[in-house]
Amino acid sequence: MILSKIFTSFTFRFLVSYVAWLSVAVFMVLALIYAFIAYDFFAEVHHSVESELGALSEAYKNGGEEAVDEFVRIHSGPDRLIRFFYYVGDENLNKIAGNLDYWPDSQEYRNGWLGFSFESLTTASDFVGTEFVARSRQLSGGEHVLVARHYADVLNSTKLVGGALTRSMVATILLGTIGGAIVAALTLRRVDHINVTLRRIMTGDLSERIDTHASTGDFLRLSENVNQMLDRIEALMAGVRQVSDNIAHDLRTPLTRLRNKLSDLHENCEVAASRDQLEMLIEEADGLLGTFSALLRIAQVETGHRRSGFGDVDLCTLVSDVIELYEPLAAEKEQVFHTGLAKVGSFHGDRNLLFQAVANLLDNAIKYTPEGGRVQVNLAVQGSVVRIEVADSGIGIPEEDRERVFQRFFRVEHSRSRHAGNGLGLSLVQAVVRLHDGYIELKDNNPGLRIVLRFPRGH
């Protein structure tokens, strides 16, 4: 898991890409250097053979066979670092002098240059097994002069350089990849630390801040900027929350008094028409009070203050209680209930909020499903996830509105005139799900709507 995160991180991929392109560039430079070195080596070989051939020709012209023998003794002795081999032959290439026993069977490859190989050149004590490059010249008297040089030293040098360059490139790639993995791991650890803090903040605890003690450089500046942004957000949210709370409390009190006075008037009123009007006014007041109560509950949930009510909850029992509560309402509309409840075991959460969330979903399902329709409630465990599902055969929600229904006071257009409501039910459900680190999803039930709540089982 950790290695997977390292290898898929942006830092590792960036560094590997950088090392790969750097290696390509280094390889091109090293290949160019190798080509220049090889060219210089072989140019030196050709130059030395040309020089020796001229000197040998002059020696034969001036002193004949004895001069050639002396030349060979001096220029090809065991003390010489570079080994040359010489041959002087007549018109028929028969040997006159030199340290080669016969004219080699050679192949001309460019501009009169010859190439050949020998396993043994002169005597058993002068064994050389290598490749040779040679140059020949015919003198005015018809004699043929040949100078050969083995280039094993050149090949060995170029192979040594080429091997060193190749190993250097391989080492660069390996060290760069290992270094990239180490840097990515260190970066990932810092990023994970920031993400953990941000997740706690997203659950509603705006007082959390990113620890900057172990940060340096860009991470320090990023953490400081995020903390300053959170300070500003917390101040703004506190101001909005205070205003909202004040409005809700200030309006709820006079509304409660108004509702009580209307109730008193209703009890003392003897005119039937007036009593009916008072009942309507009391219902309106109850609806307004319910709206303000819902707003206050959502605000409390979103701030995360309700985590103090967390404890062990038996979800199977909780969902069963909600179903039992709403079964009479479904029976009035002759709706059929289908349930599938699995044993989940202990779940850490707020029982009252979870009960309210499931109740809201079931209330909506019954409300928007016509008479004789079907409502299904499932509770299941899928790996490490607890899944609560409420489905109906009602009017559903258009796909383009499925994200907007979580906004406060938003209601789908076709339901405004048919059903009463304030557009806060799903907003409260979403707040409760987020408080429990869960996820809510709306799907098409063909017909109707299917709402799925997913919670981490180890929550």
Q: Which two tokens stand for residue 96?
A: 């006159």
Flag whether pLDDT at 413 surpasses 70.
no
Q: What are the pLDDT digits (tens) for 193-205?
A: 788 888 777 766 6
Q: What is the mean pLDDT of the chain?
A: 78
State residue 125's pLDDT score. Answer: 46
In this prediction, residue 249 carries a pLDDT of: 65
Query: Over 80: is that where the pLDDT of 185 sits?
Result: no
Q: For residue 285, what are the β-bridge partners?
A: none
Higher pLDDT, 409 or 333: 333
pLDDT at 375 over 80: yes
Using a cut of 0.75, tell me whether the model's pTM lies above it: no
Q: Is the pLDDT of residue 183 over 60?
A: yes
CA proximity to 319, closest of 376, 264, 275, 367 = 376
Using CA atoms, how far apart are residues 410 and 311, in angstroms rounded to an integer? 32
Q: Residue 99: which residues within 8 A CB-CB, separation 6 or more?
A: 72, 76, 85, 86, 87, 121, 122, 126
Segment 177-188 mean pLDDT:
76
- What confidence tier does 227 reach under pLDDT thresholds 50, 70, 90? confident
pLDDT at 86: 86
pLDDT band at 219, cuts 50/70/90?
A: confident
Counting residues of the chain whose pLDDT is more than 90, the rounded percentage is 4
For residue 227, the SS3 value is helix
DSSP string, 315-342: HHHHHHHHHHHHHHHHHHTTPEEEEEE-
Residue 147 CA to residue 99 CA, distance in Å, equals 10
Query: pLDDT grade, residue 389 (50/70/90)?
Result: very high
Domains of the chain, start order: 12-157 (3.30.450), 217-302 (1.10.287.130), 309-456 (3.30.565.10)
Q: Roughly how many angstroms between the first and final C-alpha of the chain, as a whole number?
A: 20
State the Cα–Cα distance between residues 88 and 90, nearest whole angstrom.
7
- Residues recorded for the chain: 459
Mean pLDDT of 310-316: 86
Higher pLDDT, 72 or 119: 72
More confident: 190 or 58: 58
Mean pLDDT along residues 231-246 = 72
